[in-house]
């Protein structure tokens, strides 16, 4: 099994992450100083916003690996296995383009969830993306640190399976 590190965040993702983290950390703290005091609002905002940070952090892929017949994408919430023989196309995508977030996280530590309808994204760097389209039409977008090496490795494994 060949391991690939997840790409480091690009400049825009870092900027969004810093701004959102500052808001999510500072607002709950500042709410304790409201006059008159509203402890329910303060505690609720603290739990919700710090929870959002933990959930977003949990979606960062901790492991991307290619075995003989599968691609593994693992984060804190579980694993996604993609069968290599089910891959229709695999390409390195460097352009950013316009993408519509359907349901997911759009900038805090990366881009995770459903984009453009049903595409599943596990992206931490928008300039180092690999698009995986399955024969079923399902689309995955991931961001290994070295996308060219990842594509080459998967294509090599796909060629061995034929």
- Give me the pLDDT at residue 161, please: 57
- Give me the pLDDT at residue 41, please: 83
The DSSP annotation for the chain comes to -EEEPBPPPPHHHHHHHHHHHHHHHHHHHHGGG-SS--HHHHHHHHHHHHHHHHHHHHTS-SEEEE-SSEEEEEETTEEEEEEGGGEEEEEEE-------EEEEEESSSSEEEEETTTEEEEES-TTSEEEEEETTS-EEEE-BSSHHHHHHHHHHHHHHH-
Does the pTM exceed 0.85? no
- Give me the pLDDT at residue 72, please: 95
The residues of the chain scoring below 70 in pLDDT are 160-162
- Give me the pLDDT at residue 160, please: 67
- Give me the pLDDT at residue 146, please: 92
- Give me the pLDDT at residue 101, please: 82
- Give me the pLDDT at residue 83, please: 93
C-alpha gyration radius of the chain = 19
- Give me the pLDDT at residue 31, please: 79
Domain-by-domain residue ranges, the chain?
A: 1-162
Q: What is the CATH number of domain 1-162?
A: 2.30.29.30
- Give me the pLDDT at residue 33, please: 80
Q: How far is CA 112 from CA 7, 15, 102, in A?
A: 14, 17, 11
Report the percent of the chain where pLDDT is more than 90.
Answer: 60
């Amino acid at each position: 099994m060949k391991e690939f590190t997840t790409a480091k965040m690009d400049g825009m993702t870092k900027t969004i992450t810093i701004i959102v983290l500052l808001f999510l950390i500072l607002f709950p703290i500042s709410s304790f100083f409201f006059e008159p005091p509203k402890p329910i609002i303060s505690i609720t905002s603290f739990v919700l916003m710090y929870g959002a940070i933990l959930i977003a952090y949990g979606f960062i892929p901790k492991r991307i690996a290619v075995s003989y017949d599968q691609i593994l994408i693992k984060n804190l919430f579980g694993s996604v296995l993609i069968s290599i023989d089910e891959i229709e196309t695999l390409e390195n995508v460097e352009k950013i383009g316009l993408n519509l977030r359907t349901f997911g996280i759009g900038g805090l530590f990366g881009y995770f969830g459903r984009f453009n309808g049903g595409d599943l994204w596990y992206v931490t760097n928008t300039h180092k993306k690999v698009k995986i389209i399955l024969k079923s039409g399902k689309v995955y977008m991931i961001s290994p640190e070295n996308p060219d090496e990842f594509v080459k490795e998967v294509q090599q494994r796909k060629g061995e399976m034929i």
